[in-house]
Amino acid sequence: MKYTGEALSEFKSKLRRFCSKQETIFWLESNNLNKMDHIDQYELLVALGSEERLEITDISNDLSDKLDEFWSGKSWKFFALSYDLKNQLHKLESSSHDELKWPLLYAIKPQVVISITHDGALEIHGKNKEQVLFDINNSTSHIEEDFRLSFSQSIDSMTQSKHHEKVLEIKRHIAEGDMYEMNLCMETVLKDFHCNNTFELFHRLSKQSPTPFGSFVRVGNKSVACASPERYLSKRGNRIYSQPIKGTSKCYNDDHLDYQSKLHLANSIKERAEHVMIVDLVRNDLSQICLPGSVRVEELFGIYKFKQVFQMISTVVGELEADLAFSDFLKATYPMGSMTGAPKHIVMKFIDSIETTSRGWYSGTIGYQAPNGDFDSNVVIRSILCDSSKRVAKYSVGGAITFDSDPTMEYDECMLKSKAIRDLLST
């Protein structure tokens, strides 16, 4: 069965209504941005329910064993990993305040998977396929008409002046030879937060900021609405891909201004230096799991337009060694270099000492693995994390700091990146 054009939009609307009240859901969507998603075949993947789950809440000596046992077998898996899983993978410690205290890792083997490929082919995997399709087509809830969102207080982890100080502190460390580049993030916490339908919140964020790695996760009281433009890691057969983002400029939706903005980003010595450092880091990470000499940069300094921003993106690809476990991919590459800096291990320690809050699921990853072993995953940025039991939500934003960084411009870039979320919360 195939859906294209208006038929696809109508089916997605029905599917959203059907999924809106599901307690366990992973919704991974490319928003028809195939230009960035040519590696993956799916326009939309939806996982519902849980046949089996893996939840890791603290440091575990047998993490690899737990992961590899869960990942064995030819079944669908969907997962969300916290940035703080780094402490286990790299033997680090951190004591930063974590407002949400969500699991380090959450993964499911779903009861039902609904897939739509880029050419519109629909497939339902799991039991009672005909009944599921019938229920989708006859879903009648009107989630758009009953959407409510409120919060009493917005608390930033850094003021602009404090962010300015942190940028200067990082630049001092760079000058002293401690690091080359560090990704500095700040967090905004929303107190007394209430949203009667976080899935509709995600849909509105996606309309405001459509991206090729959009994702929504709801597990009980926990929800993530993510409009990410960035791929972390994707496996296709014996090939592994990563598409790091470093470099941002404003999109004005005016042809002349956009041309100037795109040209500035493409030719910026500072942005290109910042970008190539992370590309080299990713190449080094992939070389740990790929055949010698097989890692290459398929595209360097690509400029891609999104609704609010232009982003500089490169594609790094390598040929895999045989018989790698999922934990092997994480040990070699996680967390992603674009959200840490270089050298990665040293910078992660500095992040814990310089940033004032724990990142949690922000700058982690959400993704899936298919029964044939292929997988794909994003970088959790441009996201709102909501916890209905704690009545708290938060979002974070960050950027890479190099020796040439200007504190005011770095702060302005963070405001640009978070604009879609801030606009959504103010409506």
Instruction: Count other Cβ atoms within 10 Å, centred on residue 147.
Output: 15
Q: State the catalytic residue, choosing from 222, 235, 246, 344.
A: 246
Strand partners, 27: 46, 216
> Does 181 qualify as catalytic in the annotation?
no
> Does 51 qualify as catalytic in the annotation?
no
- CB-based contact 318:239 (threshold 8 Å): yes
- CB-based contact 28:215 (threshold 8 Å): yes
Q: State the catalytic residue, choosing from 29, 230, 274, 355.
A: 230
The residues assigned a catalytic role are 230, 246
